[in-house]
Structure 1
Amino acid sequence: MDARFLGIAELVEAPSVAVVVDVMRAFTVAAWAFAQGAEKIVLAGSLDEALALKARHPEWVAIKDGPLAPGFDTVNSPGLLRSLDLGGRTVVHKTTAGTVGALAVKDASLVLCASFVVAEATARLLRTRACGAVTFVVTGEDGRADEDLACAQYIARRATGSATDPSDFLRRAGDSRAAAELAEGVRQGVHPDDVELCLELDRFPFAMIATSENSLMVLRPYAPTGPAAA
């Protein structure tokens, strides 16, 4: 597999296959939303779009980065989201990096959104579809976020079927700037367990595929089939 690792600003054309990585915290939160019963996640392009969607669909659950704001139901925190019952609900999600990265590759033939909690399922899907060239979008810090790069590199290795020790990749993520900012309370809308939850490798058995539905970018869980790798 030919893997490229690019920041959002480095995307000059739509890749064939894109894996958009946001470990802390967008796509850890998205996975938790599905685990809590959400049917689908609409990836909003702006806060205004998220609020407009919420206004048109009051029953939807709106999530944003940072502190809670009027019109939103909760914030981008896996520690807070895990206590919510989202059974059958639609979630509207807007973050500063993850959702932006997914929308930047919306024209790709296959868009996966990933973090450590869905790493193996994501790699397995890439293997079963025999993806020859994959662009990993490192969303944080203009493509320099080590937690996202570490996760992307780990998934890329697992996608080839290679036995890979995850400990160094998880250590890099735990030592990252994002992890420190979450642990030290620099970022708002944080639960004390957020970093730990973001570093839970393969907690969930599904990958997450984003597709265009009625002009919206919609994320859904997908359980890959086929044999597991070593």
Structure 2
Amino acid sequence: MPPPLVERRYLNRLSAAPEPTGAVVVIDVLRSFSTAAWAIHRGAWELYPVAAPGDGLLLLQHLPQALLVGAVGGGAPIPGYHYGNSPSAVQGAELQGRTLIHCTAAGVRGLSRYRTAPLLFGAALLNARATAAVILAAGVPRVTLVITGEWTDRDGDEDVACADYLEALLQGGDPSPEPFSERVRQSDFGRRFAAGDQPHLPPADLDLCAEADRFDFALQALPSPLGLRLVAVYAGGGTMGKSRS
């Protein structure tokens, strides 16, 4: 089977292009899908991505045992939420079997934008190789990589680096992940974390986000009666969070 055709889109400069076919991978390394991946690793059952803070509070009425996780543009925690959008913040949380409601200004917004895609994933460098493996196993002819981190005040190279790595893997390559990890650290936003002068952008988060291929699962967004659910899926076909029976 030939490798899929890969195209790219930038969330903050979308044109009236046709809706993508095949798989859509929304990339947010700093920090939406890094936080989500660490939460799953810590035992979270599922995450419900919501586009706005108020949507999370409304969803909490239907999922009263859920934890609210999120940040506004720039990275500050959402007032009234249990945790910020921070991998280091969820490290000490008791997440085993928990449902999370996740709201961020970039990655989660990208999932909402492409919610009707035939296959939809959230990706970070932490699970890039696993994401590529799941997509290749699905045999889709086209993959759209959506860059979310480019803003007027930052280059988004942390997400472009992840896209470059994903594209190489999808095309059958086996590149060393170290250069891509270093690009995350040297991106505009990465350097803000490294500076350590903003409490809501801790250097510990950069360390937890810049590691490549830490996890062996992809994060797939699946439809549900309450909206999209983000769950762990594996190249062999297993899905964590498929049911509670």
Shift in Å at residue 170 of structure 1?
1.8
1:116-170: CA deviation from partner (whole Å, max 9, x where unpaired) = 1101110111211122211000011249511101101101111222121222222
In the alignment, which of 11, 15, 27 is matched to residue 33 of structure 2?
Answer: 27
Shift in Å at residue 186 of structure 1?
6.1
Match of 1:10 in 2: 14
Q: Give secondary structure in 1 for the equivalent of 2:228.
A: strand
Match of 1:51 in 2: 57
Alignment of 1:1-230 (within 5 A): 1-8=4-11, 9-10=13-14, 12-16=17-21, 17-65=23-71, 66-142=75-151, 144-185=155-196, 188-225=199-236
Q: Give, as a single letter, the amino acid of the residue that structure 2 aligns with 1:5.
A: R
Identity of aligned residues (%): 31
**Structure 1 CA distance for aligned equivalents of residues 19 and 199 of structure 2:** 33
Ranges in structure 2 where 5+ consecutive residues have no aligned partner? 238-245
Match of 2:242 in 1: none
C-alpha RMSD of the superposition? 1.9
Q: Give secondary structure in 1 for the equivalent of 2:101.
A: strand
Rate the CA distance shift 1:208–1:164 in 2: closer, same or farther, 3 A: same
After the TM superposition, which of the residue ranges 26-35 and 79-88 deviates more from structure 2?
Answer: 79-88
Shift in Å at residue 187 of structure 1?
5.2
Shift in Å at residue 114 of structure 1?
0.4
**Structure 1 CA distance for aligned equivalents of residues 6 and 175 of structure 2:** 16
Shift in Å at residue 73 of structure 1?
0.5
Contact 1:76/1:189 (<8 A) preserved: no
**Structure 2 CA distance for aligned equivalents of residues 216 and 188 of structure 1:** 32
Q: Give, as a single letter, the amino acid of the residue that structure 2 aligns with 1:31.
A: A
After the TM superposition, which of the residue ranges 17-26 and 177-186 deviates more from structure 2?
Answer: 177-186
Give the TM-score, by structure 1 length.
Answer: 0.91
**Structure 2 CA distance for aligned equivalents of residues 10 and 42 of structure 1:** 24
Rate the CA distance shift 1:30–1:218 in 2: closer, same or farther, 3 A: same
Rate the CA distance shift 1:104–1:69 in 2: closer, same or farther, 3 A: closer
**Structure 1 CA distance for aligned equivalents of residues 151 and 103 of structure 2:** 17
Rate the CA distance shift 1:223–1:137 in 2: closer, same or farther, 3 A: same
Contact 2:131/2:217 (<8 A) preserved: yes
Q: Give, as a single letter, the amino acid of the residue that structure 2 aligns with 1:178.
A: F
1:175-212: CA deviation from partner (whole Å, max 9, x where unpaired) = 10110122224655233311111111111110110022
Contact 1:7/1:138 (<8 A) preserved: yes
Q: Give, as a single letter, the amino acid of the residue that structure 2 aligns with 1:87.
A: Q
Ranges in structure 1 where 5+ consecutive residues have no aligned partner? none
Q: Give, as a single letter, the amino acid of the residue that structure 2 aligns with 1:49.
A: D
Contact 1:5/1:149 (<8 A) preserved: no
